[in-house]
Each structure stands twice: as structure tokens, then as C-alpha cells.
């Protein structure tokens, strides 16, 4: 069956069962709560990990950028869309990643496409982690690079595959922090394998930016990322050496054929990066919040690392996952259910995103509601995590 048919059938089934959980009209109430129709719910699936949406300094910078430069650049980066603000953001990101240069885009999705326009080609195999984000896969497809998926986080599997590919050129593309599972890449092992094979290594740091420190010694060729997670804006970037940045500016479709990020988004991102650097307490509190949630849930849940603010809660079927999400909504808690094709078949889950501003009592309430549903459904967490 075609994927589109599977998606439509699932959509129809969830609507018929009254469990459709997507495209909800959510209005922001404050840093941690949203209004859904008449109900106020705790938002526990927002990428606003460091709780910077609504920060007055970021809003002020955005307003000033709109006053000074307007609401649009009036063009694409290559032609009329490169303002001093874009270059300043690029300089800041390059300094953060310790690269010579950086190229920004209007989204993280575009940044991956831009990166692959530089390193991909029909005769270059793209060795990607099996848990890679759709934007990485789409970027490989658009570049014409044949996709080879290696076992999640397995430097050994990657080594075997690179050896099997022999002289055929290849690149390796991983994420720093996997967005569906909340686990961290084994960057140094994978880096070593890629560098032994002479393959460029690209790291999508969309969920790591502001949350993790990039490793000190590495051979990473390019850091790709999004300015839409801990950095509460829109946009994406590729931080790399000057020569490849220049190539990207002349090869990447989203840079040449799609409008530049708007000045307000650029200013918001720039100011947010400064705030994140000045306020390490945000990251520390985020980590203690994650620890609190993990401890409150107790044994049997498959967690990876409390440095990661993403906590997946697995269920046995899509239908059970949708019901779990609904039962949480009824308890005043908003958590997004994720089903295939966003994750592998038989791996449905609720994806909790812990934020800095979550109060411990909110996280306790969330854990209690999850455990209550578990008891009602007699879910055996130990056997579920073994099938993970
Ligand atoms: N890479 C990863 C790993 C992501 O999770 C996402 C978005 N969720 C993107 C890239 C795309 O970022 P954006 O939403 O800014 O286009």
C-alpha cells in the first residue's frame, strides 16, 4: 500500500474514533499553558525548551528590527535579501561552532537541503542514521544522493557500510540529539569512523543548539541547525568552512530561490543566542526538570539522557497512543502523540518536551496522569521498553 494511502486511512480511523489529535487551534496563554477551545492546558510538547518565547528582550529586538528594516527583505539571500543583520547572525553562529563561516536560511528544513546541495551528488552515498529526521532524508533525495541508513548510533555498522562502499564517495549525516527518542549521538565514535574513511560528517544540531555543548575536538565538516527550537524564531543555518559556505551561497536552492528569513526572525534569533549564552541557569533548570519527570515516572520508561529535554513514552498501538493523549488532554495536559511514518511502525509514543519554565508540580501531575493511564490499561512498561 502506498504511504499516502496508509496516512489517509489512519487519519480517517482516528477521526471516526473521535481521537484525531493534530492541527489543534492552540492559543498561547503564558510560558507553559495554552488554550484549546475553552480549556487551559499545560503545554508539554513545545520545542521552546529554554522557555524563551515571550521573552521581552527578544520581542523588543524583533520590534526594532521590523521598525528599522521592515517585515521582509524583499528578496532572496543571493540577490536582495542579505542584510547586515543576516551577516551578523551568521558571524555569531560561526563563532559559536568555531567554524570559519555560516550560511543562514529561512528554515531548518531548508538548511538541510542547502547542506546537501553542497555535499550531496548522485555518485555520493548518503550514510544517514536510521532515526534521521525527514528533512535530512528529503535533502538527500533532492541532491540525488542514494540513501544508506545505518543502525541507530552504531559507529560499527557505519564502519562496515563505509568499508563495503569501497571507493564510492560518501558523506555521513547524523543528528546531535534525536528528536523522537531524546537520545544523544555518539558523535566522537561516529566522527572517528567518518574521518578514518575520509567522509565528510554533517551534524543536524536542530535540537542540540542551546541545549548541548558541541564537542571540542572533532572533524565535523558542517553543523546544520534550526532556529526554531531552543532559539525561539524561524530559520536555519549551515556552519562550516569559508570555501564550502561560499559554495552553498551559490548552489543551495533554498538560498537562491526562496526568500530570505525576515528581519524580525533574524533579530529574534540573534538576541536569543545572546540570552542563552548569558543565562546558563535556563539549561540547568531544564535538566533538573527532566530529572524530576524521570524520577516521578519511575522504572520501566526508556530514558536516555537527562541532558536531553525530550522524553518519549511508548505504547503498544497507535490507537492506544491517541487515547493516552486524549486522557491527558482531559486531565489538562497537552502532549503530542507521534505515530508512523514519523517514527517506525509499532513504535508509537507520546513525546514530552520538558521546558525550563515547567514547575515541578506540573511535571509531577503529568507523570501521575501517565501512570494512571498505564494502570487503567495494564501497560507493562518493562516488556514495552524491551521491544523498543
Ligand atoms: N532537523 C531536525 C532534526 C528537526 O527536528 C527539524 C524540525 N522539527 C528540522 C530539522 C527542521 O527545522 P525547521 O522547523 O526550522 O524547518
DSSP symbols for 112-138: HHHHHHHH-BTTBEEEEETT--HHHHH
- Cα of 281 to ligand 1 centre, how many Å? 25
Spatial contact of 217 and 223, defined as CB atoms under 8 Å apart: no
- Cα of 177 to ligand 1 centre, how many Å? 11
- Cα of 378 to ligand 1 centre, how many Å? 35
Residue 181 Cβ contacting ligand 1 at under 6 Å: no
Q: Name beta bridge partners: 148.
A: 127
| 278: helix, strand or coil | helix
Residue 127's closest CA among 168, 69, 95? 168
For 343, other C-beta atoms within 10 Å of its C-beta total 17
Q: Name beta bridge partners: 39.
A: 36
Residue 236 Cβ contacting ligand 1 at under 6 Å: yes
- Cα of 318 to ligand 1 centre, how many Å? 23
Spatial contact of 145 and 118, defined as CB atoms under 8 Å apart: no
Q: Whole-prediction pTM value?
A: 0.96
| 226: helix, strand or coil | strand
Residue with the nearest Cα to atom 1 of ligand 1? Answer: 206
CA 167 to chain centre: 33
Question: pLDDT tens digits for the chain (388 residues)?
Answer: 777 888 888 888 888 888 899 999 999 999 999 999 999 999 999 999 999 999 999 999 999 999 999 999 999 999 999 999 999 999 999 999 999 999 999 999 999 999 999 999 999 999 999 999 999 999 999 999 999 999 999 999 999 999 999 989 999 999 999 999 999 999 999 999 999 999 999 999 999 999 998 888 899 999 999 999 999 999 999 999 999 999 999 999 999 999 999 999 999 999 999 999 999 999 999 999 999 999 999 988 877 788 999 999 999 999 999 999 999 999 999 999 999 888 888 899 999 999 999 999 999 999 999 999 999 999 988 877 654 4
Strand 125-129 and strand 170-175: pairing? parallel
Q: Name beta bridge partners: 223.
A: 203, 239
Amino acid at each position: 500500500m502506498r504511504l499516502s494511502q496508509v496516512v489517509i486511512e489512519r487519519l480517517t480511523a482516528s477521526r471516526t474514533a473521535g481521537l484525531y489529535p493534530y492541527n489543534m487551534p492552540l492559543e498561547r496563554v503564558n510560558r507553559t499553558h495554552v488554550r484549546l477551545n475553552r480549556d487551559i492546558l499545560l503545554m508539554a510538547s513545545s520545542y521552546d525548551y529554554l522557555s524563551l518565547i515571550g521573552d521581552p528582550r527578544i520581542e523588543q529586538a524583533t520590534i526594532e528590527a521590523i521598525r528599522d528594516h521592515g517585515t521582509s527583505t524583499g528578496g532572496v539571500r543571493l540577490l536582495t535579501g542579505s542584510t547586515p543583520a543576516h551577516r551578523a547572525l551568521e558571524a555569531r553562529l560561526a563563532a559559536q561552532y568555531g567554524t570559519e563561516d555560516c550560511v543562514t536560511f529561512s528554515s531548518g528544513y531548508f538548511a538541510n537541503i542547502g547542506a546537501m546541495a553542497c555535499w550531496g551528488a548522485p555518485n555520493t552515498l548518503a550514510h544517514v542514521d536510521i532515526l534521521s529526521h525527514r528533512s535530512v532524508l528529503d535533502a538527500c533525495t533532492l541532491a540525488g544522493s542514494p540513501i544508506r541508513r545505518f543502525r541507530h548510533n552504531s559507529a560499527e555498522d557505519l564502519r562496515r557500510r563505509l568499508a563495503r562502499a569501497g571507493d564510492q564517495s560518501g558523506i555521513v549525516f547524523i543528528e546531535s540529539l534525536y528528536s523522537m527518542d531524546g537520545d544523544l549521538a555518539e558523535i566522537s565514535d561516529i566522527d572517528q569512523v567518518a574521518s578514518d574513511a575520509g567522509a565528510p560528517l554533517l551534524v543536524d544540531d536542530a535540537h542540540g543548539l542551546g541545549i548541548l555543548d558541541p564537542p571540542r575536538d572533532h572533524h565535523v565538516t558542517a553543523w546544520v541547525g534550526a532556529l526554531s527550537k531552543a532559539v525561539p524564531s524561524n530559520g536555519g543555518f549551515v556552519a562550516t568552512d569559508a570555501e564550502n559556505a561560499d559554495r552553498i551561497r551559490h548552489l543551495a536552492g533554498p538560498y537562491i530561490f526562496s526568500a530570505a528569513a525576515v528581519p524580525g526572525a533574524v533579530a529574534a534569533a540573534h538576541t536569543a543566542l545572546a540570552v542563552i549564552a548569558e543565562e546558563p541557569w535556563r539549561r540547568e533548570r531544564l535538566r533538573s526538570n527532566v530529572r524530576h519527570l524521570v524520577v516521578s515516572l519511575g522504572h520501566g520508561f526508556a530514558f536516555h539522557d537527562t541532558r536531553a529535554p525530550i522524553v518519549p513514552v511508548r505504547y503498544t498501538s497507535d490507537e492506544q497512543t491517541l487515547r493516552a493523549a486524549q486522557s491527558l488532554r482531559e486531565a489538562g495536559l497537552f502532549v503530542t502523540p507521534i505515530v508512523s511514518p514519523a517514527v517506525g511502525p509499532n513504535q508509537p509514543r507520546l513525546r514530552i518536551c520538558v521546558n525550563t519554565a515547567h514547575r515541578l508540580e506540573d511535571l509531577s501531575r503529568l507523570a501521575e496522569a501517565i501512570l494512571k493511564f498505564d494502570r487503567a490499561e495494564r501497560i507493562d512498561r518493562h516488556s514495552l521498553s524491551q521491544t523498543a
